[in-house]
Every structure is written in structure tokens, then in C-alpha cells.
């Protein structure tokens, strides 16, 4: 395994260990993957969902890196450090909103059909 790949895996492990939001996002991603399989989503739609998932996860990792750099360069509270952290977090929020909208557009209709089928009375 290349050293760079090992560093990347260590970064992911750090994010998973230390970032509650990252763990929540991984859990949501796993739930979406299950829905992709259960609802038999098309390959194109699955690709869009995977792109949205990995974009949010990458954004969260970058946000964590920015926060670490800001903490390193400005250990004491500073208005500009707060702005940098807030902007990085805002970027992840925007990515998450976009991913949620993609998920609703793609998974919403088949999920509603499944719920209606599941809860509709069976005809004898």
C-alpha cells in the first residue's frame, strides 16, 4: 500500500473517530445504500446518489482539516478564525442540503410507492 494511500486512510479513520457529524453522515450513507438496493434504483440514479454521498463526506473531511489548520494558526479565539470555521461549516451544510434534495427527488417516489403498497389493505 502506498504511503499516500495509508495517510488518506488514517485521515478517514481520524474523521470517523473524532467527528460525530462524520459518523452520522456515514450512517445516513449506509441507509441510502440499503434503499438503493431495496428500491431497485437505476444505475444512473444510484450514481447520482453516490456522488452526492461522497461529496458530503469529502466536504466534512475538508471542513475538519480547515478547523484543524485554523486551530493551529490561531490557538486563541479570533474573529477571522471564527469566520473561516463558520464558512467551512456552511460549505458542508450546503452540500448536505443539496444531497438531501437529490435523495428526496430520487428516493422519494419509489419510497412513497413502497409505503403505499405496504400499508394499503390487501384485496381478497
How far apart CA 3 and CA 103 sit, in angstroms, is 35
Contact (Cβ atoms closer than 8 angstroms) between residue 18 and residue 12: no
Q: Which residues are catalytic?
A: 60
Which phi-psi region, left, alpha or beta, contains residue 123 (left: φ > 0; alpha: ψ -120 to 50)? beta
CA angle centred on 11, ends 9 and 89, rounded to 5°? 135
How far apart CA 18 and CA 74 sit, in angstroms, is 20
Give the list of residues 6+ apart from residue 66 with CB closer than 8 angstroms, or none.
84, 85, 88
Amino acid at each position: 500500500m502506498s504511503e499516500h494511500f495509508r495517510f488518506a486512510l488514517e485521515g478517514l479513520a481520524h474523521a470517523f473517530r473524532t467527528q460525530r457529524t462524520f459518523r452520522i453522515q456515514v450512517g445516513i450513507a449506509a441507509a441510502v445504500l440499503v434503499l438503493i438496493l431495496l428500491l431497485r434504483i437505476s444505475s444512473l440514479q444510484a450514481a447520482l446518489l453516490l456522488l452526492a454521498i461522497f461529496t458530503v463526506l469529502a466536504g466534512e473531511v475538508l471542513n475538519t482539516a480547515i478547523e484543524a489548520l485554523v486551530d493551529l494558526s490561531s490557538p486563541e479565539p479570533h474573529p477571522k478564525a471564527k469566520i473561516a470555521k463558520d464558512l467551512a461549516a456552511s460549505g458542508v451544510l450546503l452540500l448536505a442540503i443539496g444531497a438531501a434534495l437529490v435523495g428526496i427527488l430520487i428516493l422519494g417516489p419509489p419510497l412513497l410507492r413502497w409505503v403505499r403498497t405496504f400499508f394499503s389493505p390487501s384485496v381478497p
